[in-house]
Amino acid sequence: MNSSALPFPTRPLRPPAELEQHFWRCDDTRCPDASYRFSIVLPRSWAPLDTPVAPPAAGGGLVSLGVYRPGTLVTAEVEVHACLLAREVAPADWLELYLERLGAEVVARRDVDTEGGKVADILTRSASADGPLVTRWLAMKNYDRLFLLEGRALEPNYPSAAEAIFTALTNVNLLHPIDWPLAERLRSFSRRSPGDFLVLYPESWQLVEDPANSERAMQVSLLQRVGDVVVGKLVFATVARDALSDPQALADRFAADLRAGDMEVGPLRLVPDAPRPGFAATWQALAPVGLGGIAGESRVWIGERPDAWFFASVLGPARAADPEAWAVNTRAHAILLQYLKVP
């Protein structure tokens, strides 16, 4: 079957009354840890397999919380997995990296922005002993619990199972959710000059203030370590508005500082970024950086206010060099900008 012919529904195919006639809500309360208990909407001919369930362990991998399939002829099934996250990442980035390790071919995809980061809903095709397997994946997060939802069927069976899989995956709801969307708690840092602001950042990042900070220029570094190795660095700075003529001068100064540290830095060419409340204009740039033989990158964001220039950058391995570090670093940069508050 051609990839473009595989159904990928993105909205209910039946009105609510008809959906209730053909589907039922299963409250799966088997897990001893209540934070992993959930409800899932299934076709009336489907039921959970009677299998033991245990919560994931810190530092461990995915565990299965439940498998759901038809009671007679099994043409498709849905499985819910979970794992614990040690660092804050976007569910979409986590799922992308997971599917890359599996070697699955992405057939269709949609993304949804949430407070906990971008969520991806992805359809893949992969080889199996019984023939091509079509799988729909969705990853979601509640505090440091990541839930991986998987609906699968052999390719000839998938079109008739597509509605059941879509309905199940998009109707998983935690019975006892934790009221926090991120895998880590946040810490705060604020100053009144130059530029009045408050920023929040994930607690696993270590903040270091520049001893040369003054009323005209302020800079802090946020370091992400794995053991004794720094795998990510955020720089947040504010500079008095009249100290620099334009945002490119600020980007060039940052690039010069990196080169002074024996890093090979490509040009940071600023382009306009999306409008942001509180800022007259914003810009962004991405440049390759050589990190001692490791391919790295630097993402830069600059905002203009009447009193100061605002600068936020992330420096670390490129996605191809260290996918896990890249996912953690880019997410921390996004959070810093997401929660940046100015008057």
Same domain, 163 and 244: no
Structural domain that includes position 261: 186-338
Same domain, 148 and 113: yes
Indicate the DSSP class of residue 104: P
For 144-175, the DSSP string reads: TEEEEEEEEEETTTHHHHHHHHHHHHTT-EES
User: Looking at the domain assignment, is residue 217 inside a domain?
Assistant: yes
Sign of torsion over alpha carbons 282, 317, 329, 222: negative
Q: What is the mean pLDDT of residues 49-72?
A: 95
User: Looking at the domain assignment, is residue 181 inside a domain?
Assistant: no
Average pLDDT, the chain: 95
Same domain, 69 and 102: yes
**Residues 172-215 pLDDT 10s:** 999 999 999 999 999 999 999 999 999 999 999 999 999 999 99
User: Looking at the domain assignment, is residue 77 inside a domain?
Assistant: yes
Same domain, 257 and 317: yes
Radius of gyration (C-alpha) of the chain in whole angstroms: 23
Same domain, 153 and 229: no
Same domain, 240 and 279: yes
**Residues 264-302 pLDDT 10s:** 998 899 999 999 999 999 999 999 999 888 999 999 999
User: Looking at the domain assignment, is residue 179 inside a domain?
Assistant: no
Integer Cα distance of 140 and 11 in angstroms = 18
Same domain, 140 and 115: yes
CATH number of the domain within which 261 lies: 3.40.1000.10
Confidence of residue 2 (pLDDT cuts 50, 70, 90): low
User: Looking at the domain assignment, is residue 324 inside a domain?
Assistant: yes
How many domains are there within the chain? Answer: 2
User: Looking at the domain assignment, is residue 331 inside a domain?
Assistant: yes
User: Looking at the domain assignment, is residue 9 inside a domain?
Assistant: yes
What's this model's pTM, rounded to 2 decimal places? 0.94
